[in-house]
Structure 1
């Protein structure tokens, strides 16, 4: 009997220590998973809303070439959209500018959901493209990475990659004034003017890799950079692109001589293409 009585205080002591340990652990590891998920959602929504002139966007459906969008999000879960002009060919009544709804939700990851029909939904609508699957695109996206300037997304169902790039005031104005149509026409004209000619990226006297840009004129949207490596063996990098209001944006970065190329810009004054790297402009030269 005495032996049992001795055990009781010991058990109470262990129980008390366990309770303290649990509290200490909660304090040690900070917020709960639910609190962290809520904080992540709030942070990502704040980033979306904080861009005063919205976001340039490029998406790469599984069964279609890259497509461009523009989104401007507000705090009332409304999003203003402008879409690639090609979508009006697919769905004339629904491919134009408009306002629809969006949400941020904690699914497996912090997710951006376009929850009412918009031009973006044209790409995943099963009545378009391939019967039953559309163009194998998405309208619900997980946030892979987010900064004040760039947000990388991945489709929750088809894993469709989409990138949002913070727009400037001039770019927002261009979207509102049919800038998408202007850049599409410019790229087609560029393809016609450069057909059969050599295009190089003029970096310096010894670095002039050759470029090939495939546009809608040739029923595709790809960019290729070709150059000899240190042993003289030709290397080729190719990526898909989608249009913004003043550029073509790559699905995957092209890397050359420590230069990372995500985008080729269109100069509407000189009617030429160029890249920007570390604050310097490098032109694409046609010969």
Structure 2
């Protein structure tokens, strides 16, 4: 027992010597000293990038946006942003600081282009009131983020992702010379008067659809009689449109679009893709009609005893809400309510505006065609709203009918089969 006690004391003594030895001290600095040293390393890295940083941010609210940052050692940063045409050509200087919080953090502490995405006023950025696009302007450095080219950060409030990539001399010059604004010419694709648009790249015809709010590009193409589809997020760079995920089709790889041109008089967008100079052209119908889509759309809501809604009505001739339905007093939305009621043995649907109390618009009966179109005949009217019972009704019963394009599990676009120049987006908001 005595020997065991002496052995225990010897171990304690050795451990004490170990802990007091400067040569064997595991941490020669305090935790605060270590994190401050890391912060200083990040500061040096940000400033040392001679040509600044390209930046890609993924707000928690969706979408992808690009920036250019040039940091200096006086805690000032100059930036450009692809959010709008003005921010693409006009540099903005603001302050930043690095701070040792729970983790090393980068804080943009005066209002800047970065704050526009996070602004809680939805009218500023198109997001929801109270949240904006759920982006951030305070970020923590990821533990493994520092390397020779990239720095990865995470927003402290909304966990949006920010990636900094060292810019080249050519890229920095392009940002300063308005290259980002030239890339924004791609947004003019929304000015085409037809819903359907096509582009031929390397001999392959692609149907191209762009969601500028979500910042996504979709390419559809035929392999035999089968429609293949590819969708990727995109952002604007100093040289064009960059795909987050490159598109590969056989030997063809498309990483984005460059050399963008726009002819306003012809409403014609030109660009280069995979080394091919191409032009986006209009189309009156889908590359291949989904012949089951119209009935699938109708059945989806009918089986639930519910309805589809549209917040903006018909888009036509390039103008959203072409008929002005949102000007109806106390307008909530347009709705399409399948199988809402029956009369004299005929089941009919409501294609009507709703003001919180009443329906206004035509009662219709659908006819599903074997080629995938749906047409509507008018059985009667709800209410006495002149706009809904004249102009909108005339559009609804257009003799050529409509194609239904499913864009997600709960959204469809209903496109005029006459010429593809009029359409309405239906959302099922009850899921």
TM-score after normalising by structure 1: 0.69
Please give the per-residue CA displacement for 1:86-138, whole angstroms capped at 9, x wherever unaligned: 2859xxxxx95221111222334332211221111111122343222222110
Scaled by the length of structure 2, what TM-score is found? Answer: 0.49
Asked if the contact 2:97–2:108 (Cα under 8 Å) also holds between the matched residues in 1, the reply is: yes
Give yes or no for contact 2:57–2:161 (8 Å, CA) kept in 1. yes
Per the alignment, do residues 110 and 283 of structure 1 end up closer, same or farther by CA in structure 2, a change over 3 Å counting?
Answer: farther
Matched pairs, number: 262
Q: Structure 2: any 5+ residue segments left out of the alignment?
A: 262-269, 281-431
Which residue in the other structure is 2:162 paired with? Answer: 162
**1:72 — aligned with what?**
70
Deviations 1:187-241 (A, max 9, x none): 52598599632454x5xx9xx796846164xx55213466899xxx977553322
Alignment of 1:104-115 (within 5 A): 104-115=98-109
Matches within 5 A, 1:240-279: 240-250=233-243, 252-254=244-246, 256=248, 263-267=255-259, 272-274=271-273
Task: Check whether the contact 1:73–1:80 (CA below 8 A) recurs between aligned residues.
Answer: yes
CA gap of 1:166–1:191, structure 2 versus 1, over 3 A, is: farther
Give the Å deviation of 1:139.
0.5
1:123 corresponds to which residue?
117
Answer whether contact 2:240 2:260 (CA < 8 A) is retained. no
More deviation in 238-247 or 20-29? 20-29
List per-residue Cα deviations over 1:25-53 (Å, max 9, x = no partner).
Answer: 99485665735433432332222112211
Q: Which runs of 5+ in 1 are unaligned?
A: 90-94, 276-281
Pair 1:151–1:285, CA change in 2 (3 A): farther
Alpha-carbon RMSD: 4.4
Asked which structure has the greater RCO (Cα within 8 Å, sep 6+), the reply is 1
Q: What residue number does 2:42 align with?
A: 44
Structure with the higher strand share, 1 or 2: 2
Match of 1:151 in 2: 151
Deviation (angstroms), 1:247 = 3.1
> Quick one: which of 68, 75, 81 aligns to 2:79?
81
Pick which of 171-180 and 49-58 moved more. Answer: 171-180
Given the superposition, is the C-alpha separation of residues 20 and 193 from structure 1 closer, same or farther in structure 2, using an over 3 Å criterion? Answer: farther
**3-state SS, counterpart of residue 138 of structure 1:** coil
The structure whose residues are more often helix, as a share, is: 1
